[in-house]
Amino acid sequence: MSSPNALLTPQWITNEALALLVNSLTITKNVNRQYDDSFRAGGAKLGMSINIRKPAWYIGGNGQAVTPEAVQEQYVPLSLSYQRNIATEVSSQDLALSINDYSRIVLKPQVERLATLIDQDVAAAALGINNFVGTPGTTPTSIDTYWGAKTRLDNLAAPRGDRHVALNPLAEQKIGNALYTTFNPRDEITKIYEEGIMGYALGAEWEMDQDVYVHTTGTPGASTPLTNGAVTSGLSAIPTDGWTGMTLKAGDIISFSGINRVNPANLADTGELAQFVLTSDVASSSSATLNISPPVIGPGSPFQNVVSLPADNLAILVWGAGTGAFTGVTAKVSPQNLMFHRDAITLACVDLPLPGGTDMAERATSRENGLSFSVIRDYNVLSGQWIQRMDILYGVAVLRQELACRIAG
């Protein structure tokens, strides 16, 4: 058995793997990424939770007199739910490769698979987004659907700039022709026609991602359900009745008839129905409690999100046809394409502990990219191979729902 190539130092391998990972990410590279150094040099474990702070909102006033407002800090709990890893056998022959060949032959395929797993976890955060346009099970072919998503973000005071669109391959294909007339700059049209690469339009950077999350909708049933009692401000568990043959899924979208969303910046009526996402499945029942996000918050709060609170016996609309009408959509398989601002979704990464007594145990951390990545290698006397594993520990959460919109496919 020959010794590992001296040029392939443990730190080089780890740094090169991290660089390859950053370059291989798709949707993840466009979301908020944070490195939590409270677990610097290890100590974090799978399943632990950390809190991510959200910006405060205020009402403000008019006139000479003032009414002091308390600082109402909000936090999003983020569970370190994912310890993604790749473990492989590396031969002494592999370790004798040149740096470039080792990166291309050994590291790159492993890291690309790891990047796919991370992108899938980030894309799945779409189920926590309440804003929605399109028709489940029908891939958009009109640019108007995407204008609707842009309008939704504008109405909800999403900052201009740093907006992105993530599309699955079929959605990219269907909208490609329409974008010829939208992408006016010659360079952007060339990218689509010659390279099949999306560009910049509607104030966002467009990109294909085969890891877009696929949601299967529930079955609302044949009747129009109603609120069972007036909805009070801050309520996220909504009593209802009047269901027939209903089975809803976490990720389905509901609205209350006639209850519009307000712009969080100026609290003005947006003219669009407020949308809420189910956070848990609902089994068939004539009466059911719907757990929703965000909670319904009425006037008088800096976090107000509806023009008025839903009254008793108000019709509940299950979104399916893009209009908010109760449509009886049944188990539609629907890719959840996204238009989002960077701060809509966050990935928080922490350091994993490094064991002693191994041939190699190194960690690479990038504050710029919000990632911490470890590579551990040791010799297996039974197989005569070097066992090398790469690990990354992180959590994913929706940080600000108002900064993203799902585009059903």
Where do the domains of the chain lie?
Answer: 10-56+75-125+356-408, 130-213+334-341, 218-331
Distance in angstroms between the alpha carbons of the first and the last residue of the chain: 54
Res. 322: pLDDT tops 50: no
Q: Which CATH code of 2.40.30, 1.10.12, 3.30.200, 2.40.160 fits the domain covering 218-331?
A: 2.40.30
pLDDT of 82 reads: 93
pLDDT of 259 reads: 97
Which pair of tokens denotes residue 292?
């929703």
pLDDT digits (tens, 9 = 90+) for 205-238: 999 999 999 999 988 877 889 999 999 999 999 9
pLDDT digits (tens, 9 = 90+) for 246-271: 889 999 999 999 999 999 988 999 99
pLDDT of 343 reads: 92
pLDDT of 216 reads: 92
pLDDT of 272 reads: 93
C-alpha 126/C-alpha 211 separation (Å) is 12
Is the separation of the CB atoms in 135 and 171 below 8 Å? no
pLDDT digits (tens, 9 = 90+) for 375-391: 999 998 888 888 999 99
**If you ran DSSP here, which 8-state letter would residue 219 be given?**
B
pLDDT of 219 reads: 85
Residue type for 344, please? Answer: A
The share of the chain scoring above pLDDT 90, in percent, equals 56
Closest CA to 343 of 44, 34, 8: 34
Res. 71: pLDDT tops 80: no
Res. 43: pLDDT tops 50: yes
pLDDT digits (tens, 9 = 90+) for 350-363: 998 889 889 989 99
Sign of CA dihedral 172, 174, 177, 178: negative
Res. 291: pLDDT tops 70: yes
Which pair of tokens denotes residue 271?
């003219």
Three-class secondary structure of residue 223 per DSSP: coil
Q: What is the mean pLDDT of residues 173-192?
A: 64
pLDDT digits (tens, 9 = 90+) for 93-121: 888 888 889 899 989 999 999 999 999 99
Cis peptide preceding 294, ω within 30 of 0: yes
Mean pLDDT value across the chain: 86
The share of the chain scoring above pLDDT 70, in percent, equals 85
Give pTM, 2 decimals.
0.86
pLDDT digits (tens, 9 = 90+) for 19-37: 999 999 999 999 999 887 7
Res. 161: pLDDT tops 60: yes
CA 200 to mean position of chain CA atoms: 20
Res. 89: pLDDT tops 80: yes
